[in-house]
Amino acid sequence: MSANAPTSPFPAPVGGVLLPEDFAPSLLFGILYLLLIPFIALRFISKSSRTMVIMGVALTTIVRVLNFAFRMAQSKDPSLRASITITIWLQGSYSATFIALANDVIHIGRAYLVGTTRAREPEDPADDSALEIPVPAASDGQQVLGDSIHLEDRGFPDVASKSSSKQKIDIKEVEVEVTIGDMSSLRDEPNLRDEPKRRRYIRILCIIFTTLLIICSIMWAVSGGIYYGSMLNLASDAMITQVTSMIETVIPLLVLQSMNVLLLFAWITRPRRVCRNRILYLCLICCILTIPIVYRLTISSVMTTSWEPDAPDSLNSHTQKALFYSLHIVPELLAAVLLLRINIRIVYNTGLGGDWGMRDKK
């Protein structure tokens, strides 16, 4: 491979050159991504959870399984490190994962925020019932009945009768009080009106976010395709690769943080329409996806002169490899798990295809 000889500087490969010590972590993450496939299949098989807004998770999971299979092969076979196809695939696809996951978050957030602009009843701002598995608990009446039966079994029927009747009176008083409070609350909070203007603004912003991510996808395909040329003393390709790599990293960072601001603004300004925990859940995923983006920004300016493992600034040290797995791979895997953990279709009311276009469906 001509890239093994000294060349002009070119961007250091993300993840470094594959060495024998990369086999174990590549195998580990390959298995973890394989374990996600059954959960993805269940989400799409079940009609109640089937939605296209998590298609990015499904595609990137398959891509990551292939990535780690290639990394394992390269770590064991030095001749494969010279493969042009694998090199282009790996360097191009490292950016694809967080871009695809960010696109899923945009579509989920858009569907949910658009839904909150429609005429509806006020929503509990702290309702997180859809994010957790409910655990059934005994009611007060059931508890009182159990205590009465226990007293009767112990030979105290009179005490049991008095205790039961007294508790029933207290329960009735509480029920009356709660009912009156709920009725007054409903009178104070009428059904929320339709907001077509706000719905249009949300759609415009989300379309802009999606368009920017599509542009990034095109750019990572271009940078991945010309990366090999930058290793062959082609200074122009090296410069283009570095510039496109930085741009395709900065844009998703701005998009994710803008989506964070949009979600938080919707919650703060309209707490009766927007559920706090559902907003914060998406914001958490946005913040997690920001970690690999910041990591890539820190290494985007690193240049090397050789494909050899001992080349200067080649991101091949044990510390650099540990940072790659912990700051690039782990956050993406965690974000994928969070998107699969809950039923996105029900929690965020996305429907099968999410929200598309600028006009409401008739």
Measured distance CA(281)–CA(267) in Å, rounded: 12
Instruction: Indicate the burial class of 336 (C-beta count within 10 angstroms; 0-12, 13-18, 19 or more).
Output: buried
For residue 59, give the nearest of 217, 243, 251 by alpha carbon. Answer: 217
Helical residues (DSSP H) of the chain, grouped into ranges: 23-45, 55-76, 84-116, 140-153, 157-188, 196-230, 235-269, 276-299, 318-324, 330-341, 344-347
pLDDT at 184: 33
Phi, psi of 227 (to 5 degrees): -60, -40
Q: Distance between alpha carbon 288 and the CA centroid of its chain, in Å?
A: 8
For residue 328, give the nearest of 228, 231, 249, 241 by alpha carbon. Answer: 249
Confirm if 7 and 306 have CB atoms less than 8 A apart: yes
For residue 64, give the nearest of 352, 338, 248, 335 by alpha carbon. Answer: 335
Q: Provide block-wise average pLDDT over 10 residues at a time, the chain (362 residues).
A: 56 85 95 96 94 94 94 88 79 84 96 90 56 47 43 44 43 36 37 87 95 88 71 67 84 95 95 94 97 92 76 81 95 96 95 84 64
Distances (CA, A) of 52 to 62, 320, 356: 16, 36, 12
Measured distance CA(96)–CA(57) in Å, rounded: 11
pLDDT at 79: 82
Phi, psi of 10 (to 5 degrees): -140, 160
pLDDT at 346: 95
Q: Distance between alpha carbon 6 and the CA centroid of its chain, in Å?
A: 41
Q: Is 361 left (phi over 0), alpha (psi -120 to 50) or beta?
A: beta
Instruction: Indicate the burial class of 47 (C-beta count within 10 angstroms; 0-12, 13-18, 19 or more).
Output: exposed
Kindly report the pTM of this predicted structure.
0.78
Task: Output the six-digit token pair for 187.
Answer: 């009178």
The residues that bridge with 192 in the sheet, in sequence order, are: 120
